[in-house]
Chain A
Amino acid sequence: MSDSPSIDISTAEKMSRLANLKMSSEQLKEMSFTLTKVVQLFHSLSQVNTEGIEPLVTPVDIRLVLRSDLAKTNFSAEEMLSNAPEKTGNLFTVPPVV
């Protein structure tokens, strides 16, 4: 983190592209402004000494239980496609990707 972090418009634009969120230039400007305020709020974190500290993901010790390799069909293809915005037979339809 730099001394005064900011998310400029071009960074915001890059993030919107990565996240696939269409935004107008007005929205990007607003996003850059509020996100900069937000990351500045979080800036104090950079002062915490975290050397040698392992990141924590799951906060509680949970015993690892793996699944037995048993195949089971619990849903029909029709159920899995019941919410599809567009389908062809039992396949999901999307714009041409090539």
Chain B
Amino acid sequence: MQIHELSAQELSQKIQSKEVSAAEVAKHFLERAQNLNFKLNAFISFNEEVLKEAEKIDLQIARGNKIGPLAGVPLGVKDMFCTQGIRTTAGSRILENFVPPYDSTVVRKLKEAGAIVLGKLNQDEFAMGSSGETSYFGVCKNPWDLSKTPGGSSGGSAAAQAAGLAALCLGTDTGGSIRQPASFCGVYGIKPTYGRVSRYGIVSYASSLDQAGPVTRTVSDAALALEVISGKDALDMTSSDQSVPEFHKNLNPSLHGKRIAVLKEYENSDGLTPDIVNAYEKAIEFLRGEGATVEQISCPHAIHGVSVYYLVATSEASSNLSRYDGVKYGHRAQFENISSTSLKDFYSSTRGEGFGPEVKRRIMLGTYCLASGYYEAYYKKASQVRRIIRDEFLVALQGFDALVSPVTSTTAFDIGKKISDPVKMYMNDIFTVCTNLAGLPGASVPVGKDRAGLPIGIQVQSLPFCEQSVLDVSYALELAFKNSVGAPHV
């Protein structure tokens, strides 16, 4: 087995037992990632210090110092996370040269656990997209089929993880941005409960929906990484002080006596392909066979999820992205003579050049939703329906260990197929947005492939702060279906 085929934990164990050095591992991944990046375009930047940092880990191990559970693990970080000294672009021209003087809390915690930042991963611009195609740095490719998108917005994270370009990856999920690409690329990805993980230092898209989470080869890696990054952060008021369970140690695949819910409104959804229906039914069958009971629940307002999601997310985004104005950092439009430039021109040229078309579209939509005369009918209405949806999920899920559903209607689609039609692209998120609206934890587990050989994921969700249930059910599915997915050959 090659180094890049190991799980993050296996890798760290080998490094800690000095079977292989962290430096060798870093070198292997760096070379592999750099060599394959021209094909996949999964990385936007590499960490120039990665080998030095790996040597430091080796030195600590040699000295017998106490070392974290992810010692020496090369980490791929979505470019939404600020990394001190490594440029952080959010996939946008407007942050093309931004080098943060601080680490996001998630990255800091992973570094403290011994992980080494390998590089920064490609993504849809400001995480606005479901295909990776809105990135200023070019589209990332799906390692299973280079003509397909890896999904988005954490496309680079899922692609890099699937192709073995990094041992552990980080993504963010606002409306499905971890789960959908994980599903498209055949890897595991989990979005924690809103508030479980600090958002400090993560470029904001929609503050009330954004959550960071790991994209991994195995459920066990995700459990460990999630444990490391979770918990209250004094720098994020919206992080929760709920105690963090030992997700990894507690991992238990037993399904006996578990109560699994399926959602009526997700059944027979338009456009759901037969291969996905098939994989989904097989997964349900498996759960039943292992002693779980499966019951249908209903959340009637879930059908409004996509509308509510786009109204809330774009409203928040229109405000969150106002800080990109060419004053303090980032892109600034060039003017022949700054002294005769009006402020209006300065701003609108800077932002007009700095943002891509999809980001502009969402800023425009969000500005509209909040504008006087429209606020009540759009932002406020959506926030009210959001409460209805959230409450329906909380009530319907009482007593259930997990809610199981498809992640997407289709498997990875062709690059260029939906980008010209935003409505089509937005409808893509139908199975994933309610999770964020309700703040629930949710994951995508690979369970099979379609007739074209593209991976299919199944979504597992649970009540707030019940990540353990999500991980446990995921683990059972992983053990059952792992071999039917495998890894792509790049």
B198 → A minimal CB distance (Å): 12
Asked, given contacts A23-B352, A50-B385, A75-B101, whether A60 binds B439 with beta carbons under 8 Å apart, the answer is: yes
Out of A17, A63, A83, name the residue touching B328 (CB < 8 Å): A83
Interface set, chain A 17-62, CB cutoff 8 A to B: 17-23, 31, 34-35, 37-39, 41-42, 44-46, 48, 50, 53-62
A21 touches B352 (CB 8 A): yes
Residue of A23, A39, A46 most packed against chain B (CB within 10 A) = A39
Interface residues of B, count at CB 8 A: 80
Assess the B426–A38 pair: CB atoms within 8 A: yes
Residues of A within 8 A of B437 (CB): 59
Q: Are B381 and A35 in contact (CB under 8 A)?
A: no
A85 to B461, CA, bound (A): 44
Determine if B195 is an interface residue (Cβ-Cβ < 8 Å).
yes
Closest to B333 in A: A22
Pick the interface stretch among B27-35, B62-70, B338-346.
B338-346
Does B4 reach chain A (CB closer than 8 Å)? Answer: no
Contact indicator B381/A45 (Cβ below 8 Å): yes
Asked whether A45 lies within 8 Å of B307 as measured between CB atoms, the reply is yes
Looking at chain B's contact residues, the main secondary structure is: helix
Select A19's contact among B193, B239, B364, B386, beta carbons within 8 Å. Answer: B364
Bound: A63/B240 CA distance, A: 7
With both chains docked as a complex, state the minimum distance between the C-beta of A16 and any C-beta of chain B, in angstroms.
7
CA distance A86 to B329 in the complex (A): 9
Q: Which one of B208, B329, B377, B465 lies within 8 Å of A85 (CB-CB)?
A: B329
A20-B344, A63-B241, A94-B327 known; A11+B368 contact, CB < 8 A: yes
| A56 pairs with B347, CB closer than 8 A | no
Q: Is the CB of A34 within 8 A of B422?
A: yes
Chain A residues positioned under 8 Å from B241 (CB to CB)? 62-63, 65
CA distance in complex: A47, B268 (Å): 23
In the bound assembly, the distance between CA atoms of A94 and B335 in angstroms comes to 12
In whole angstroms, how far apart are the Cα atoms of A84 and B329 in the complex? 5
Contact, CB under 8 Å: A95 / B361:
no
B339 touching A19 by the CB < 8 A rule? no
Q: Does B332 contact A (CB under 8 A)?
A: yes
Which of the segments B16-24, B154-162, B230-238, B271-279 contacts the partner chain? Answer: B230-238
Shortest Cβ distance from B241 into A: residue = A63
B341 to chain A, nearest CB (A): 4
A82 to B101 alpha-carbon distance, docked (Å): 8
Q: Tally chain A residues at the interface, Cβ within 8 Å.
A: 55
1/0 contact trace for B342-369 toward A, CB 8 Å? Answer: 1111111101110100001101110110
Contact A12 B364 (CB under 8 A): yes
Convert B368-381 into 0s and 1s, putting 1 for each residue whose CB lies closer than 8 angstroms to a CB of A.
10010000011011
Cβ A54 vs Cβ B387 within 8 A: yes
Bound form: Cα–Cα A2–B395 in Å: 33
Tell me, rounded to whole Å, the shortest Cβ–Cβ distance linking B424 to chain A: 10
Asked if B245 is at the interface (CB within 8 A of a chain A CB), the reply is: no
Residues of B within 8 A of A41 (CB): 306-307, 423, 426-427
What separation, in Å, do the CA atoms of A59 and B98 have in the docked complex?
A: 31
Cα distance A65–B232 in the bound complex, in angstroms: 10
Determine if A22 and B332 form an interchain contact, defined as CB atoms under 8 angstroms apart: no
Q: Please, what's the 1-or-0 string for B205-221, where 1 marks a CB less than 8 Å from any CB in chain A? A: 00010000000000000
Q: Which of B238, B310, B329, B339 contacts A83 (CB 8 A)?
A: B329
Point out the residue from A15, A22, A53, A84 that lies within 8 Å of B367, measured CB to CB. Answer: A15
Question: Is B99 a contact of A82 with CB atoms below 8 Å?
Answer: yes
Residues of B within 8 A of A59 (CB): 194, 208, 386, 390, 436-439
Q: Does residue B382 face the partner (Cβ distance < 8 Å to A)?
A: yes
CA distance in complex: A83, B390 (Å) = 40
B51 within 8 A of A: no
For the complex, is A79 an interface residue (Cβ under 8 Å from B)? yes
Q: Mark B75-90, 1 if CB is under 8 A from A, else 0.
A: 0000000000000000
Smallest CB-CB A-B distances: 4 pairs? A22-B352, A59-B439, A55-B383, A83-B329
Q: 6 A-B residue contacts at CB 8 Å?
A: A15-B367, A15-B368, A48-B304, A54-B384, A55-B384, A58-B195
User: A18-B371, A23-B352, A60-B195 provided; 16 other pairs, C-beta below 8 A?
Assistant: A22-B348, A22-B352, A31-B361, A41-B427, A45-B385, A48-B304, A48-B381, A48-B384, A48-B385, A58-B238, A60-B193, A60-B240, A62-B238, A63-B241, A65-B241, A83-B98
